[in-house]
Amino acid sequence: MHMAIRQPGRLRGMVIVDPLGAVGDGGEADMLKIMAERIPPEHMARAQELDEAVMRGEGTTEDAMESLRLLWPAYFADPDHPPPMPRMDISVPCSAQTWESIHSHLSERTLEEELPSIRVPCVFVLGGASPIPPRHGEATATLISGASVVVVEGCGHFPWLEHAGVVRLALDRIAKA
Protein backbone atom coordinates (compact mmCIF):
# COMPACT_ATOMS: atom_id res chain seq x y z
CA MET A 1 0.00 0.00 0.00
CA HIS A 2 2.88 2.35 0.76
CA MET A 3 4.41 1.57 -2.63
CA ALA A 4 1.15 2.37 -4.39
CA ILE A 5 1.09 5.76 -2.67
CA ARG A 6 4.77 6.67 -3.14
CA GLN A 7 5.35 5.16 -6.58
CA PRO A 8 1.90 4.99 -8.20
CA GLY A 9 3.23 4.48 -11.73
CA ARG A 10 5.10 1.32 -10.76
CA LEU A 11 2.06 -0.83 -9.91
CA ARG A 12 -0.71 -2.12 -12.16
CA GLY A 13 -2.70 -3.50 -9.24
CA MET A 14 -2.49 -4.87 -5.73
CA VAL A 15 -3.47 -8.06 -3.97
CA ILE A 16 -3.31 -7.35 -0.25
CA VAL A 17 -3.37 -10.49 1.86
CA ASP A 18 -4.76 -10.32 5.41
CA PRO A 19 -3.00 -7.12 6.50
CA LEU A 20 -3.16 -5.12 9.64
CA GLY A 21 -5.62 -2.39 8.77
CA ALA A 22 -4.86 1.27 8.23
CA VAL A 23 -7.46 2.66 10.64
CA GLY A 24 -6.97 2.97 14.40
CA ASP A 25 -4.49 0.36 15.60
CA GLY A 26 -5.08 -1.70 12.46
CA GLY A 27 -6.45 -4.57 14.51
CA GLU A 28 -3.29 -5.20 16.51
CA ALA A 29 -5.10 -5.28 19.88
CA ASP A 30 -7.72 -7.68 18.48
CA MET A 31 -4.96 -9.83 17.00
CA LEU A 32 -3.12 -10.13 20.31
CA LYS A 33 -6.35 -10.90 22.18
CA ILE A 34 -7.44 -13.58 19.69
CA MET A 35 -4.00 -15.15 19.56
CA ALA A 36 -3.95 -15.30 23.37
CA GLU A 37 -7.28 -17.15 23.24
CA ARG A 38 -5.94 -19.69 20.74
CA ILE A 39 -2.77 -20.83 22.46
CA PRO A 40 -1.88 -21.87 26.02
CA PRO A 41 -1.33 -18.88 28.34
CA GLU A 42 2.25 -19.92 29.07
CA HIS A 43 3.03 -19.91 25.33
CA MET A 44 1.58 -16.42 24.94
CA ALA A 45 3.46 -15.12 27.97
CA ARG A 46 6.75 -16.55 26.72
CA ALA A 47 6.18 -15.21 23.19
CA GLN A 48 5.44 -11.73 24.55
CA GLU A 49 8.57 -11.86 26.72
CA LEU A 50 10.68 -12.82 23.71
CA ASP A 51 9.05 -10.20 21.46
CA GLU A 52 9.66 -7.46 24.03
CA ALA A 53 13.35 -8.40 24.15
CA VAL A 54 13.51 -8.27 20.34
CA MET A 55 11.84 -4.83 20.30
CA ARG A 56 14.36 -3.54 22.87
CA GLY A 57 17.19 -4.76 20.64
CA GLU A 58 18.20 -7.38 23.20
CA GLY A 59 16.62 -10.44 21.58
CA THR A 60 18.38 -12.90 19.32
CA THR A 61 17.30 -14.58 16.11
CA GLU A 62 16.71 -17.71 18.19
CA ASP A 63 14.39 -15.72 20.49
CA ALA A 64 12.40 -14.40 17.53
CA MET A 65 12.11 -17.88 16.03
CA GLU A 66 11.02 -19.38 19.37
CA SER A 67 8.33 -16.72 19.63
CA LEU A 68 7.11 -17.45 16.11
CA ARG A 69 6.99 -21.20 16.80
CA LEU A 70 4.91 -20.56 19.95
CA LEU A 71 2.52 -18.22 18.12
CA TRP A 72 2.32 -20.20 14.85
CA PRO A 73 -0.86 -22.18 15.69
CA ALA A 74 -2.74 -18.98 16.63
CA TYR A 75 -2.54 -17.68 13.07
CA PHE A 76 -4.81 -20.46 11.79
CA ALA A 77 -8.54 -21.12 11.80
CA ASP A 78 -7.90 -24.44 13.56
CA PRO A 79 -5.03 -23.77 15.97
CA ASP A 80 -5.12 -27.40 17.16
CA HIS A 81 -4.14 -28.54 13.65
CA PRO A 82 -1.92 -25.89 12.05
CA PRO A 83 0.12 -26.71 8.99
CA PRO A 84 3.81 -27.24 9.67
CA MET A 85 5.77 -24.04 10.01
CA PRO A 86 7.98 -23.61 6.95
CA ARG A 87 11.71 -23.14 7.33
CA MET A 88 12.45 -19.44 7.60
CA ASP A 89 14.84 -16.90 8.98
CA ILE A 90 14.12 -13.66 10.83
CA SER A 91 16.17 -10.50 10.92
CA VAL A 92 15.81 -9.16 14.46
CA PRO A 93 16.69 -5.55 13.52
CA CYS A 94 14.35 -5.66 10.52
CA SER A 95 11.51 -7.08 12.61
CA ALA A 96 11.91 -4.42 15.30
CA GLN A 97 12.18 -1.62 12.73
CA THR A 98 9.15 -2.91 10.82
CA TRP A 99 6.97 -2.81 13.94
CA GLU A 100 8.31 0.64 14.83
CA SER A 101 7.39 1.81 11.33
CA ILE A 102 3.93 0.24 11.51
CA HIS A 103 3.20 1.93 14.83
CA SER A 104 4.52 5.26 13.56
CA HIS A 105 2.38 5.14 10.41
CA LEU A 106 -0.72 4.13 12.35
CA SER A 107 -0.28 6.94 14.88
CA GLU A 108 0.35 9.46 12.09
CA ARG A 109 -2.59 8.03 10.08
CA THR A 110 -0.35 7.90 6.98
CA LEU A 111 -2.24 5.20 5.11
CA GLU A 112 -5.65 6.28 6.36
CA GLU A 113 -5.10 9.73 4.84
CA GLU A 114 -3.29 8.69 1.65
CA LEU A 115 -5.00 5.47 0.51
CA PRO A 116 -7.80 7.41 -1.22
CA SER A 117 -5.18 8.56 -3.77
CA ILE A 118 -4.65 5.00 -5.07
CA ARG A 119 -6.04 4.46 -8.58
CA VAL A 120 -5.03 0.88 -9.40
CA PRO A 121 -7.22 -2.21 -9.06
CA CYS A 122 -7.03 -3.67 -5.59
CA VAL A 123 -8.27 -6.91 -4.02
CA PHE A 124 -8.04 -7.62 -0.30
CA VAL A 125 -7.93 -11.33 0.55
CA LEU A 126 -8.90 -11.72 4.22
CA GLY A 127 -9.10 -14.81 6.37
CA GLY A 128 -12.55 -15.08 7.94
CA ALA A 129 -10.96 -16.71 11.01
CA SER A 130 -7.76 -14.68 11.00
CA PRO A 131 -6.53 -13.32 14.32
CA ILE A 132 -6.85 -9.94 12.54
CA PRO A 133 -10.64 -9.75 12.22
CA PRO A 134 -11.73 -9.03 8.63
CA ARG A 135 -13.42 -5.77 9.64
CA HIS A 136 -9.96 -4.16 9.84
CA GLY A 137 -9.09 -5.07 6.26
CA GLU A 138 -12.59 -4.15 5.13
CA ALA A 139 -12.27 -0.70 6.74
CA THR A 140 -8.99 -0.22 4.91
CA ALA A 141 -10.46 -1.36 1.59
CA THR A 142 -13.18 1.29 1.85
CA LEU A 143 -10.44 3.93 1.66
CA ILE A 144 -9.43 2.80 -1.85
CA SER A 145 -11.87 3.61 -4.63
CA GLY A 146 -13.11 0.43 -6.28
CA ALA A 147 -11.22 -1.96 -4.00
CA SER A 148 -12.85 -5.33 -3.55
CA VAL A 149 -12.72 -7.69 -0.61
CA VAL A 150 -12.71 -11.48 -0.55
CA VAL A 151 -13.23 -12.99 2.90
CA VAL A 152 -12.17 -16.63 2.88
CA GLU A 153 -14.28 -18.39 5.50
CA GLY A 154 -12.60 -21.06 7.62
CA CYS A 155 -9.24 -19.49 6.90
CA GLY A 156 -6.73 -17.73 9.15
CA HIS A 157 -3.91 -15.29 8.47
CA PHE A 158 -2.13 -17.31 5.75
CA PRO A 159 -4.84 -18.08 3.19
CA TRP A 160 -2.44 -19.65 0.72
CA LEU A 161 -1.61 -22.33 3.30
CA GLU A 162 -5.19 -23.10 4.32
CA HIS A 163 -7.01 -22.58 1.01
CA ALA A 164 -4.59 -23.09 -1.86
CA GLY A 165 -5.45 -21.03 -4.91
CA VAL A 166 -7.28 -18.08 -3.28
CA VAL A 167 -4.37 -15.70 -3.76
CA ARG A 168 -3.96 -16.86 -7.37
CA LEU A 169 -7.64 -16.15 -8.02
CA ALA A 170 -7.15 -12.62 -6.69
CA LEU A 171 -4.09 -12.16 -8.91
CA ASP A 172 -6.11 -13.35 -11.92
CA ARG A 173 -8.81 -10.85 -11.02
CA ILE A 174 -6.26 -8.00 -10.97
CA ALA A 175 -4.68 -9.15 -14.24
CA LYS A 176 -8.07 -8.94 -15.97
CA ALA A 177 -8.85 -5.48 -14.58
Predicted model pTM: 0.93
Domain ranges of the chain: 2-176
- Tell me how far CA of residue 118 lies from CA of 7, 83, 177, in angstroms: 10, 35, 15
- Tell me how far CA of residue 105 lies from CA of 26, 75, 129, in angstroms: 10, 23, 26
Query: Tens of pLDDT along 47-91?
Result: 999 999 988 888 999 999 999 999 999 999 999 999 999 999 999
Q: In 10 A of CB 128, how many CB atoms?
A: 15
The CATH superfamily of 2-176 is: Alpha/Beta hydrolase fold, catalytic domain (3.40.50.1820)
Q: Is the pLDDT of residue 8 over 90?
A: no
Contact predicate 98/124, CB 8 Å:
no
Query: Tens of pLDDT along 133-170?
Result: 999 999 999 999 999 999 999 999 999 999 999 999 99
